[in-house]
Amino acid sequence: MTTSENLTQDKIDFYRENGFVQIPAIIGADEIADFREAALEANRATHNLSAGRGIFDQHVNVWTQSDAMKKLTLHPNVAAVATKLAGTPLRLWHDQILIKQPHNQKPTEFHQDQPYWPHADSPNPISCWIALCDVPVERGCMTFLPGSHRRTDLTAQNLADARSLFNLCPDLQWNPRITVPLRAGNCTFHHGRCAHMATPNFTDEPRVAHIVIFMPRCTTYDGKRHIVTDPLNLQIGDVIQGDLFPEVG
């Protein structure tokens, strides 16, 4: 298992240079099947937010509703590795289960995550994308644009539009693209500004991934609408903190 203690400097350097990194065995092999079943159960029981416009089933803040998923979202190994890669104290932003149903025929087009979030003073957000099943290219693995995390000036992109990111930043279409298939229990970490996409699921099995998103502890609210913060009556400039956003690491 990869831990913060055996995480190599090469991995840290790769992440900071490229905006993403692949990490093997972030959770134990004996835990994977239970977490996968818990995610599928949450998919059956939780309202589909449809944020992906049919591209995937998305369920946000599942850790507040499922004890099993809370164990994964707040897994100390995930938080410790994220903190070491980001190089700054972190707190949880939110988690989400993303499931691509079999033969969904819909890619998740290139985009950055952070423009969707109501965050200011947040230079080092980091997401852990955990494969809860084997995710070959044919099942919906991710492709990254190395170095694109340095583009901090872009507005939100459309996950359903293959040209959305590149219309905003034409130079990015010439970046190298690195595709990262994952075995169950492996993960990638990516910066909130690292552009990425996921292929359609062409297989007979659902693609099941759990994503844990962290933000620097100093992150403040910038006033944008977001499903997580809309009910909280935050004022612009407030630090995003409290029981829903526990400190980790």
Question: Which pLDDT tens digit goes with each residue over 70-90?
Answer: 999 999 999 999 999 999 999
Task: Report the predicted TM-score, pTM, of the whole model to 2 decimal places.
Answer: 0.95
* Residue % of the chain over a pLDDT of 90: 92
Residue with tokens 């359609």: 200
Query: Above 60 in pLDDT, residue 98?
Result: yes
- Distances in Å between the alpha carbon of 167 and those of 84, 107, 123, 154, 158? 34, 18, 24, 11, 11
User: What is the phi/psi pair of residue 71, to 5°?
Assistant: -60, -35
Taking the C-alpha atoms of residue 19 and residue 191, their distance in angstroms, rounded to an integer, is 5
The reported pLDDT for the residue numbered 88 is: 97
Taking the C-alpha atoms of residue 72 and residue 212, their distance in angstroms, rounded to an integer, is 9
Query: Above 90 in pLDDT, residue 45?
Result: no
